[in-house]
Amino acid sequence: MRGLDKTDREIVRMLIDDGRRSYSDIAEQVDLSAPAVSDRVDRLQELGVIRRFTVDIDRDMLREGTAALVTVRAAPGQGSRVRDALTDADRVEHLFLTADETVVCTVVAEDVRAFLADRLPTDAVSDYDVQLLADSVWTPRFGQAELAPDCAECGNRVGSDGERERLGGELVHFCCSSCRDAYVERYERLSEGV
């Protein structure tokens, strides 16, 4: 499996700066053709390195409510449940679940506490804190990151000698051919039973 090269990294950096940048503009910067850039972006999306293109909204330009940083400490074993209760909410941005089952997110609402009271399962929450935001900056960085997905079979990191297989329309990564074979065999057996 081919990893990320210098050109891939530069393309990602340019798209982080401006997700609407044209492929021909990127091509000029990285000394490729626009179709070659398009192919690389498609590959990066297929690998899962680029998940989506999004818009950064300036909340100061909108009248929609108060922006707050919310920290919710979940009851033991309830972090995923709290995360799920807030994930699809229209008013929630930048949601994180920490290893100690704390959910941290940005909420924009007229009455943040009322919003949380409506959304949070009370039996899953130990307590929460709401702080008004004066400002926020979202600056994703790419650095010198290497491609390192987890093997779908054993959980090990997949290196440059790893393999991948498209199953059910989804690209699945494996560290070796024996993991791929075991996973594909089980997948096919389960698919036949459905």
- Sign of the CA dihedral with 30 first, then 37, 148, and 94 last: positive
Higher pLDDT, 109 or 3: 109
Could you give the domains of the chain?
Answer: 1-49 (1.10.10.10), 62-132 (3.30.70.920), 148-194 (2.30.170)
Q: Please write the tens of the pLDDT for every residue from 145-179.
A: 777 889 999 999 888 788 888 898 888 999 999 99
Cβ–Cβ < 8 Å for 153, 180: yes
User: What kind and span of H or E run contains 29?
Assistant: helix 23-30
* Rounded Cα–Cα distance for residues 190 and 62 (Å): 49
pTM exceeding 0.75: no
Kindly report the backbone phi and psi dihedral angles of residue 37, in degrees, each rounded to the nearest multiple of 5, phi listed first: -65, -45
* Rounded Cα–Cα distance for residues 113 and 119 (Å): 10
Examine the pLDDT at 47 and tell me if it is beyond 90: no
